[in-house]
Structure 1
C-alpha cells in the first residue's frame, strides 16, 4: 500500500516507465516543429483564426468517436449521464477554447487586441476585475445568471490591461520557439487545450507528449488538430517517464508545460531519488528552462451557514455530489475538503443529503493508476470514513471522511490530494456566519494544501445580509486560489476558457504546490491573478453537467453542435432538451 505524501498524487506511467524509447523519432518530432517556429510567428491573426475554425470543424467531426473512446476506457455506457460528462469535459471544453481564441484572433485583426465585454470593477487589495463572461447574447441565454471575472495583479490599471494585452502579437518573432507539453492522463481535453494555449497565447510551436493513461486518444487528437500537424506547428508523441525525461532535456525545447502533480514537477526540475531530494533542498535545479505547470490541489468547498429549504438542501447536495463524482474523482479540481460551520443547525441535514445523493449515483471504474492504494491509505488514516454505493470489480465507493479535526493541521485530509472518489468534511467553531466565513478563509489559505481552486456556497439571504454578504465578498477577495466559484463549481472557470486557469501566483520551484502560470486566458491578459465565477444559488432547470441530470448526455450533444456552429436556430432545440424531464 502506498504511503500518503503531502501534495498531489505521485506520477505514474505504468509499464511505460521502463519501456525503451526511440530517440530518433523524438528528435524528428522536435526538429519538425522547430523548423516551423518562425513560420508560426509569421502566421497572421487572420490565418490563425482560419486554423482555429478548421480545428473546431475537425473536432466536431470526430467528437463522438473521441468521447466513445473515453467512455470505453472509463467504463461508461454510451448514452449515460457519464457519457454526457465525457462529451462536455473531454471534447466540448476544447471546442469552447478554440472558439474563444478564434474570436480573439478576429478582434486582433480589427482592433489590435481582444475585446473583453466588461465592465471593469475595482476590488479590495488595489485590484481590478475584468468581467469576461457573458461575452455574447448566446452566453447570456445558455449560461443564465452566470458571470466570470479575471482579477489582475495589484496595482494594474485598466489602461495597463489594454496596453499589455496580446503582447506576443506585437513582435511575434521574439516569442518564437518550441514548447513541450506533457499531457495529463485524466481529462481528454487537457493536452489539446494546453497546445492551444501555447500556440495562440504564448506564440510557441508544440510537441505534445500524451500520457500513457490516455494515449488511446492520440488518433482523435491528430484528426482534431490535423490542420496544425499538416503545417508542422504541432507533433504528438507517446511514451512514459523516460520519453518525458528525454524531451524535457532536449536542446531544442525552450520551455515546458506539465499538467500533473507536484511530484511530476520536482522529478522534472530536480530529478528523482535521494539526489533529487538533495537538489530540491539546496535549490539546485537540473532543468533551468521555464516550466509552467498545473499540479493539483486539496480543493475546498466552503458552506456558509444559513436557513435553507428542503429544495435548497437537495440542490446543493446534487451540486457538491457532482463535484465529487465527476470523472470518478480523478480531477485536480475535485473537492477534497468541505468546510462547514460547527454550529450550523442544518449541517447534519446537508451532509446526510449529500451522502444519500452520492449513494444513489452509480459507482465508477477506478481507471487511474494507484487509485485503490490511495483510497486504502486514507482508510488507514480514517477508518471511520463513510463508504457509499455498491462498487463492483475495479470500482471504488464514494467516500466521505466526516468531522475531521480542524485543529490537526497535519491531517492527510488537509494535505494530500486523494485523487480518487474521496472527500472529507471539517467543521469550524465560529460565533456567527460572518465570523465563520473569515475563519474559513484563514483555514483554507493557511492549512489546506494547494492554491488551484475553491468554491463558496451561500444562500441569497446570506448574501443580502449586510454583514454576512460583506464577509463573503471579502472572502472572494482574500482567498489565495487561482479560481474561485461563488455558488458555482470552480471547475467552470476551467471550462469557460475566457477566464484563466492555474494556481494562485507566487509559488517558488522548491515549494511549487499547485503550480505556476495560467492556461486558457483567451483575452490574452498579461497580469492575471485569479478568476472568479458566480452563479445562481439554484438554477431551474438544473445544469446539464449535474450528475443527477438524467438528460445530460442529450443536452451535451446539442451544446456541442452549437459550439461547432453557433446559431440562434439551434437555441430552441437546445433549450427543449435542457427542459426535458
Structure 2
C-alpha cells in the first residue's frame, strides 16, 4: 500500500484471514479503484466511447492468443474441430459487445435514445417488444435467419422504453462506486462482459476476481483491458474462495456480481456451510432474514434448461438436424455451461418419437470426443450413473443419455449436472395440449429460470397461431429460444442475459438482474431468440411457403460442424477487420459444414 493510502478499514468478523501481503495488495487495488471512480465520472459520453474503441484495438490484438489459450486450458489440441467454440464465446463475444456499447454511447452523446431507429412491437400480456437484432447488415449476413427481441415487463410502453434506455449513462456523472465481479470459470468472455456492464449500466468501476480455472487467461485479459486498467477503472486479481470471501465483505466494495453456482451465492449472502456449525449459523441467518452480505448483489446462477420438442411432421433431414441441435445444446464446452440444454420434453404421442430418439442417440454418440475438464464434473457424472443405472452411456462411455418418465425424473430435473448428462422426459399430448403441458412442466418441475428452448416446425407453429405466442409468454425464463439455442441470446450483445425476474436473496435459483443489454434497456423481463427450423438450402423451400429464409447452412457452433473451427475464427476476424475478401472465403468454408 502506498505511503499516503488510508489506513486499513475495519473488517467484519466474518472476513477470512489472508496473508498480510495478499490483503495489502487487495486493499491497494480497491484504493486505486476509488480514485479511478472519480476519473470515470468526469468522462463525457464521447470520451467513454473513445475509450471503448481503444479497448477494441487492444482486444483485437490478443484475439488469437485468447482463443488458443482457452482451447489449450480445456484440453482442445491444435486442429481439434471444436476450437471454434473458444473463438465465438471469447473474443467474438467481446468485440461485438464493444461495438454495440459504442453505438449506444454515440446515440446518447448527441441526445438521442439508443432505441431511435429500432423496431418496437408488442407481445401478449401488455408487453412491449424491442427487436434487438439484427440491427446491421453484418448481423443479417453472418447470422442469417436469427433474430432476438427483448420483452419488457408488462405495462411498460414504448415511450417509456425509449426515454429510459441508457440506464446510468443518462447521468454519467452519477456515483456508482466500486463493484466486485466474481468471474465465471467456464466461458471466457463472461468476466470481460460483466466488467463492461458494471461500467456502463451502473457507472461502477470494477474489481475482477478471475476464477482459478481461467488463471491462464489473466495476462490476456490484462492486455485486452489495459485501456481500462491504466486510468484506474479496472483491477484484476486472482485467488480462490478465501479471496472472494474477503472481498465480498470488504467495506469499500459497494456491489457484488457473481456468475457461478447457487451454492456459492448462498455462501456469499448467508455465510459458508463448510462445517456443521457454520451451516447452522447460515441457516439461522436465512430464517431470520439477516444476510451476512450487507451490500447489493446481482447474480447469474444457471439451472436446468428444458428443450421442448413440439410434435409435427418432420422429414428425415429435419430429424437429423434437430437431433444435432439438441446435442450441441448439451455438449458445447463439454456440457460445462449454465445454459446447457439438459432435459428434452418429448411427446409420447408423437408419431415420430422413436425416429427422433434414434437420431438423437446417434448424434449424441458420434459427436467429437473431448475432455470433461471442469472441476468436480466427473463427480456429477458418477452421481448420474448412480441415480440412473439404466442410462445409456455414449461417446465411449463419456456422456449419459437418460430416458425416463415424469415420475422418475425428479433428480434429473432438480440437479444442474454441468457435465455431459442429457435427459429425455416423456409427456402426453400433441399440438397446443402438449405445448401447454410442457410449458407448465418446465415452469413447475425444473430448477431455475435462466433459459428454455423450443423446437417447432413452421407448419405446426402456424397451425397453433396465437396460442404459440401465449405459450411463450407463459414460460418463466430469462431467455426463450425458438428453433435456436438460448446461448445465441448470450452471444448477442443487444439482447439481455439473466434469470426471469422475481429472484430474491432467499430464493434465486438462477440469480437476479441481467447483464450484456448493450442498448441499456430498463424494466427487462426476458429475451426471445428466433431461429430457422431448417438450414440452407432446405430453408429455401420453407421461405417459398412464407416461413422465412436462412442462407446459413449448418451453424458453425454446432458440435457436428466439420468446418466450425475455421468458420468461427473467420467470423471473429471479420468482426475485427471487416475484410470482405477474407469473409467470402469463410462463407465458402461454412457451406462445407
1:113 CA displacement: 2.8
Which residue in 1 is equivalent to 2:24? Answer: 24
Describe the superposition over 1:13-45 as per-residue Cα deviations: whole angstroms up to 9, x where unpaired. xxxx99857100000111111111121122122
Which residue in 2 is equivalent to 1:462? Answer: 460
- Counterpart Cα distance in 2 of 1:548 and 1:321: 9
Which residue in 2 is equivalent to 1:438? Answer: 436
Question: Within 5 A, what are the aligned runs for 1:60-139?
Answer: 60-115=60-115, 117-139=117-139
On the 8 A contact 2:570/2:583 being kept in 1, the answer is: no
On the 8 A contact 1:504/1:530 being kept in 2, the answer is: yes
Which residue in 2 is equivalent to 1:550? Answer: 562
Confirm whether residue 51 of structure 1 aligns to residue 51 of structure 2: yes
1:220 CA displacement: 0.4
Aligned to 2:214, the other structure's residue is in SS state helix
Question: Within 5 A, what are the aligned runs for 1:388-467?
Answer: 388-390=394-396, 397-403=398-404, 405-408=405-408, 411-430=410-429, 432-465=430-463
Describe the superposition over 1:196-224 as per-residue Cα deviations: whole angstroms up to 9, x where unpaired. 11112221100000001111110000011
1:115 CA displacement: 3.2
Aligned to 1:252, the other structure's residue is in SS state coil
On the 8 A contact 1:452/1:503 being kept in 2, the answer is: yes
Aligned to 1:284, the other structure's residue is in SS state coil
> Could you tell me which of 457, 462, 468 is aligned with 1:472?
468
On the 8 A contact 1:260/1:295 being kept in 2, the answer is: yes
> Could you tell me which of 514, 519, 523 is aligned with 1:523?
519
- Counterpart Cα distance in 2 of 1:569 and 1:363: 33
Compare 58-67 and 116-125 and name the one that shifted more: 116-125
Compare 117-126 and 17-26 and name the one that shifted more: 17-26
Taking a change above 3 Å as real, the CA distance of residues 19 and 429 of structure 1, as seen in their structure-2 partners, is farther
If the length of structure 1 is used for normalisation, what is the TM-score? 0.93
1:357 CA displacement: 1.0
On the 8 A contact 1:182/1:257 being kept in 2, the answer is: yes
Taking a change above 3 Å as real, the CA distance of residues 246 and 166 of structure 1, as seen in their structure-2 partners, is same
On the 8 A contact 1:544/1:551 being kept in 2, the answer is: yes
Aligned to 2:173, the other structure's residue is in SS state helix
Compare 148-157 and 18-27 and name the one that shifted more: 18-27
Which residue in 2 is equivalent to 1:562? Answer: 574
1:158 CA displacement: 0.5
1:550 CA displacement: 0.9
Q: What is the RMSD of the two structures over their aligned residues, measured on CA atoms?
A: 1.6
Taking a change above 3 Å as real, the CA distance of residues 163 and 306 of structure 1, as seen in their structure-2 partners, is same
Aligned to 2:128, the other structure's residue is in SS state strand
If the length of structure 2 is used for normalisation, what is the TM-score? 0.91
Taking a change above 3 Å as real, the CA distance of residues 441 and 500 of structure 1, as seen in their structure-2 partners, is same
- Counterpart Cα distance in 1 of 2:169 and 2:493: 19
Question: Within 5 A, what are the aligned runs for 1:8-19?
Answer: none
On the 8 A contact 2:142/2:571 being kept in 1, the answer is: no
1:568 CA displacement: 4.8
> Could you tell me which of 380, 383, 398 is aligned with 1:377?
383
Which residue in 1 is equivalent to 2:588? Answer: 576
Which residue in 2 is equivalent to 1:332? Answer: 338
1:144 CA displacement: 1.3
Confirm whether residue 498 of structure 1 aligns to residue 504 of structure 2: no
Which residue in 1 is equivalent to 2:39? Answer: 39
Aligned to 2:473, the other structure's residue is in SS state helix
Compare 21-30 and 567-576 and name the one that shifted more: 567-576
Which residue in 2 is equivalent to 1:8? Answer: none
Describe the superposition over 1:512-547 as per-residue Cα deviations: whole angstroms up to 9, x where unpaired. 110000001000111110000101101121111111
Describe the superposition over 1:496-516 as per-residue Cα deviations: whole angstroms up to 9, x where unpaired. 010000000001111111000
List runs of 5+ in structure 2 lacking aligned partners: 1-15, 274-278, 537-552
Question: Within 5 A, what are the aligned runs for 1:206-245?
Answer: 206-245=206-245
Describe the superposition over 1:145-177 as per-residue Cα deviations: whole angstroms up to 9, x where unpaired. 111100001110011011111131232232331
Taking a change above 3 Å as real, the CA distance of residues 325 and 34 of structure 1, as seen in their structure-2 partners, is same
Q: How many pairs were matched up?
A: 555
- Counterpart Cα distance in 1 of 2:504 and 2:90: 31
Confirm whether residue 484 of structure 1 aligns to residue 480 of structure 2: yes
Describe the superposition over 1:172-201 as per-residue Cα deviations: whole angstroms up to 9, x where unpaired. 232331000000111111111100111122
On the 8 A contact 2:180/2:207 being kept in 1, the answer is: yes
Taking a change above 3 Å as real, the CA distance of residues 325 and 54 of structure 1, as seen in their structure-2 partners, is same
Describe the superposition over 1:36-87 as per-residue Cα deviations: whole angstroms up to 9, x where unpaired. 1121122122111112112222112111111111111111122322111111
> Could you tell me which of 254, 257, 278 is aligned with 2:284?
278
Compare 489-498 and 134-143 and name the one that shifted more: 134-143
Aligned to 2:298, the other structure's residue is in SS state strand
Aligned to 1:82, the other structure's residue is in SS state coil
Which residue in 2 is equivalent to 1:11? Answer: none
- Counterpart Cα distance in 2 of 1:197 and 1:50: 17
Which residue in 1 is equivalent to 2:5? Answer: none
- Counterpart Cα distance in 2 of 1:20 and 1:326: 39
Compare 246-255 and 44-53 and name the one that shifted more: 44-53
Aligned to 1:173, the other structure's residue is in SS state coil
On the 8 A contact 1:116/1:132 being kept in 2, the answer is: no
On the 8 A contact 2:169/2:201 being kept in 1, the answer is: no
Taking a change above 3 Å as real, the CA distance of residues 353 and 19 of structure 1, as seen in their structure-2 partners, is farther
- Counterpart Cα distance in 2 of 1:343 and 1:469: 21
Aligned to 2:162, the other structure's residue is in SS state helix
Question: Within 5 A, what are the aligned runs for 1:187-266?
Answer: 187-266=187-266
> Could you tell me which of 349, 355, 380 is aligned with 1:349?
355
- Counterpart Cα distance in 1 of 2:64 and 2:372: 23
On the 8 A contact 1:452/1:483 being kept in 2, the answer is: yes
- Counterpart Cα distance in 2 of 1:245 and 1:265: 11
Describe the superposition over 1:428-467 as per-residue Cα deviations: whole angstroms up to 9, x where unpaired. 112x3210000011101111110000000001111121xx
1:565 CA displacement: 2.9
On the 8 A contact 1:493/1:499 being kept in 2, the answer is: yes
- Counterpart Cα distance in 2 of 1:346 and 1:276: 50
On the 8 A contact 1:168/1:175 being kept in 2, the answer is: no
On the 8 A contact 1:205/1:233 being kept in 2, the answer is: yes
